[in-house]
């Protein structure tokens, strides 16, 4: 079955610990609802650096990565439906979805 990465970008900072915890409850319910589609629940990311020909910057680029999840599904449409239901959207974030490629190394 094809694997896909959900790459989370942006999203606002929580104003309180309680707001963050409420979001985490929504996140956990969404993740649990994906069931066997979850290959790797991934992780959130802190501030990133960007490496380019001109050196390293501390800004994480124009749309910093805030986390990833790896799922499996038969079609891109199935994964897009998963992403649309993700609570990351509710906090102003976006989700980039890409299918993994099988490649012999």
pLDDT tens column, 21-60: 999 999 999 999 999 999 999 998 888 888 889 999 888 7
What letter does residue 90 receive in the DSSP assignment? G
CB atoms within 10 A of CB 81: 11
The pLDDT score that the predictor gives to residue 13 is 83
CB atoms within 10 A of CB 45: 14
Q: What is the pTM of this model?
A: 0.88
pLDDT level of residue 103 (50, 70, 90 thresholds): confident
Which has the closest alpha carbon to 69: 101, 33, 95, 105? Answer: 95
Which domains, ranges and CATH numbers included, belong to the chain? 3-44+65-99 (3.30.70.1060)
The token pair that represents 34 in the structure block: 């994906």
Contact 26, 84 (CB under 8 A): no
Which has the closest alpha carbon to 39: 14, 16, 73? Answer: 73
pLDDT level of residue 95 (50, 70, 90 thresholds): very high
pLDDT tens column, 62-82: 788 999 999 999 999 999 999
């Amino acid at each position: 079955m094809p694997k896909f990465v959900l790459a989370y970008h942006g999203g606002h900072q929580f104003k309180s610990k309680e707001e963050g915890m409420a979001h985490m409850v929504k996140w956990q319910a969404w993740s649990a609802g994906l069931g066997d589609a979850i290959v790797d629940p991934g992780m959130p990311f802190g501030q990133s650096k960007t490496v380019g020909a001109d050196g390293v910057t501390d800004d994480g680029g124009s749309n910093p990565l805030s986390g990833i999840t790896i799922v499996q599904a038969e079609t891109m449409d199935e994964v897009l439906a998963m992403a649309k239901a993700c609570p990351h959207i509710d906090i102003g974030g976006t989700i980039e979805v890409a299918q993994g490629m099988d490649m012999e190394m």
